[in-house]
Amino acid sequence: MHFIAENLDDYVVEHSENEPVLLQQLTRETYQKILQPRMLSGHYQGRVLSMISKLVNPKSILEIGTYTGYSALCLAEGLQGSGTLHTIDINEELVYFQRKYFDRSEYGSQIHQHLGDALDIIPKLDKTFDLVFIDADKENYSNYFHVIIDRLNTGGIILSDNVLWSGKVLEKSFKKDDTSTPALIRYNALLKADTRVETVVLPIRDGLTISRKI
């Protein structure tokens, strides 16, 4: 979705950081071999994630929804030297692909993969986090918030992707099988109302929310 004129969007990308070569290769191979390649964050949003992570300079990152590892590698760019990134995905067919690219990067030893349902795995992680990226099944965004918030350090950041859902969050009625749109509407309202965080929605790509724990 383009929130600004397409040629201005192109200008924004052209005047932002270049995409690292490894991420270009990961994108190419994802498009060649993996279903639903449009799920990966991509050049511009990836550079935004990298920049936010560098500003936060986290010791620990949690990512919910690894897919082929693009956003994990962007977020890892901001990790402290001894920091770790834990990333969770339910699709076991992606594990080898992710590891191949993590190990080609300079962050391989800092990135820990977890296979399974994030709602089962998060409570078992004996850690607190400085930065969390939520980018998995939209129906569970509110549940992810509830299991994460007590494990987010004060000043820590939750980034939530796809919060504008191609503009569908403005709709008042939904198709019968559309469970994502109402879930995202509830999630956006939850973030706005919860006094433990301060929140801004950025109209980047499909909508990216930054919530900071007070």
Binding site for ligand SAM (CB under 6 A): 39-41, 65, 67, 70-71, 88-91, 117-118, 135-137, 140
Structure tokens at 193: 């109302």
The nearest distance, CB 195 to ligand SAM, in angstroms, is 27
- Residue 118 or 184: the one with the smaller Cβ distance to ligand SAM is 118
Q: Give 133's strand partners.
A: 63, 159
Structure tokens at 51: 């920049």
The nearest distance, CB 118 to ligand SAM, in angstroms, is 4
- Residue 103 or 198: the one with the smaller Cβ distance to ligand SAM is 103
- Residue 110 or 162: the one with the smaller Cβ distance to ligand SAM is 162
C-beta of residue 132 within 8 angstroms of C-beta of residue 148? yes
The nearest distance, CB 8 to ligand SAM, in angstroms, is 23
- Residue 7 or 96: the one with the smaller Cβ distance to ligand SAM is 96
C-beta of residue 75 within 8 angstroms of C-beta of residue 111? no
- Residue 95 or 201: the one with the smaller Cβ distance to ligand SAM is 95
**String of b and e for 22-41 (b: at least 16 CB within 10 Å)?**
ebeebbeebeeebeebebbb
The nearest distance, CB 56 to ligand SAM, in angstroms, is 17
Rounded CA separation 13/15 (Å): 5
From edge to edge, which strands make up the β-sheet containing 208-213?
Answer: 111-115, 84-89, 60-64, 129-134, 152-161, 208-213, 197-202
The nearest distance, CB 208 to ligand SAM, in angstroms, is 11
